[in-house]
């Protein structure tokens, strides 16, 4: 790209890609850093340069649409299938900064640069579409893209975890309405994955079995919280769901991350995931905002065991009823204790009825 960022095109067949970025862009600069919270034992990322990022532009000024002779965008080509490029306003950066070991005046706050990589994944060149409207072939291509980028990013030095996700809907906080997702390559293992890994290890020691596998087997056997399934995957509402509408997608055969999925698993995921997204889109009069979050194993370089990790996707919405959102108020935001307004069994039954 004009400012040195990398862009990659992914197509289902051979396509000639020759367009160049003609924009006059300044070199990308970031001010990311991570500060360690000694009370919670977690890293907090500060990225003040993101205050100036693009915010809800009109469709004719969308930076994720293909370029035209009259307007150059982030994608130089006049059309595309799936595109990945480095975020212009990244939360993390592959630039190492020379920072002190501790924050000034706070000896209990270790400091490190915000090393990592943030990528944007555009699912389609059609602005007024969505992932739910993709055909199965395009959805499968996106799965292959996630696998490709996970493998490439996990191989980078100092990367502890790769996180593929999509924020959908303005209520979620999406600032660009064009269908897209993101990938973060963190320099550490995130709190969620670290906590799950610790509990998986405890379960293995106490019961001699895989916690993920035991949970999946129980849900498939009970069936009351299963929303949909095929030969390779089961989608169910977790019995401990914290979000008003939440579904977990598990492959029947354990893999640690997306690159380990075989062709049959990738095809079956695309089919089942599109089914679920369409149920989310039609549960109410308007499509539900949602977050789709891949839970992958930490990278081999992270130092966190991967042997028992079971890849899964968490799909959830903050909508609790028609016209009503779930706000993370005092208990959730202050104490991280979720109070649910729905029951998993009811939600599963409602989603099963959606056609």
* Catalytic residue list: 180
User: For residue 186, what is the enclosing H or E element?
Assistant: strand 180-186
The Cα–Cα gap between 171 and 173 comes to 5
SS (H, E, C) the chain: CCCCCCEEEECCCCCCCCCCCCCCCCCCCCCCEEEEECCCCEEEEECHHHHHCCCCCCHHHCCCCECECCECCCECCCCCCEEEEECCCCCCECCCCCCCCEECCEEEEEEEECECEEEEEECCCCCCCCHHHCCHHHHHHHHHHHHHHHHHHHCCCCCCEEEEEEEECHHHCCCCCCCEEEEEEECCCCHHHHHHHHHHHHHHHHHCCCHHHHHHHHHHHHCCCEEEECCCEEEECCCCCCCCEEEEEEECCCCCCHHHCCHHHHHHHHHHHHHHHHHHHHCCCCCCCEEEEEECCCCHHHCCCCCCCCCEEEEEECEEECCEECCCCHHHHHHCCCCCCCCHHHHHHHHHHCC
């Amino acid at each position: 790209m004009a400012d040195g960022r990398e862009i990659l095109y992914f197509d289902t067949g051979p396509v000639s890609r020759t367009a160049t970025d003609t924009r006059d862009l300044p070199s990308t600069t970031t001010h990311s850093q991570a500060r360690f919270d000694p009370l919670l034992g977690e890293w907090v990322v500060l990225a003040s340069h993101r205050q100036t990022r693009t915010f809800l532009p009109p469709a004719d000024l969308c930076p994720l649409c293909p370029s035209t002779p009259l307007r150059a965008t982030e994608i130089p080509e006049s059309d595309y299938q799936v595109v990945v490029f480095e975020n212009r306003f990244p939360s993390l950066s592959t630039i190492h900064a020379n920072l002190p070991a501790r924050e000034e005046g706070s000896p209990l706050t270790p400091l490190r640069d915000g090393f990592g990589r943030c990528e944007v994944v555009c699912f389609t060149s059609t602005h007024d579409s969505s992932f739910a409207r993709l055909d199965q072939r395009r959805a499968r291509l996106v799965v292959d893209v996630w696998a490709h980028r996970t493998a490439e990013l996990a191989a980078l030095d100092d990367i502890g975890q790769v996180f593929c996700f999509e924020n959908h809907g303005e209520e979620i906080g999406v600032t660009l309405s064009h269908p897209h997702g993101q990938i973060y390559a963190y320099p550490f293992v995130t709190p969620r994955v670290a906590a799950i890994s610790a509990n998986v290890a405890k379960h293995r020691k106490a019961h001699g079995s895989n916690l993920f596998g035991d949970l999946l087997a129980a849900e498939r056997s009970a069936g009351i919280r299963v929303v949909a399934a095929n030969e390779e995957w089961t989608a169910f509402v977790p019995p401990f769901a914290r979000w008003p509408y939440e579904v977990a997608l598990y492959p029947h055969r354990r893999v640690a991350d997306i690159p380990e999925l075989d062709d049959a698993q990738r095809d079956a995921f695309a089919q089942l995931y599109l089914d679920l997204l369409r149920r989310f889109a039609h549960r109410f009069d308007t499509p539900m905002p949602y977050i789709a979050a891949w839970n992958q194993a930490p990278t081999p370089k992270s130092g966190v065991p991967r042997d028992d990790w079971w890849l899964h996707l968490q799909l959830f919405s903050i909508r609790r009823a028609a016209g009503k959102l779930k706000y993370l108020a005092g208990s959730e935001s202050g104490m991280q204790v979720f109070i649910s307004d729905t029951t998993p069994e009811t939600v599963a039954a409602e989603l099963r009825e959606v056609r």
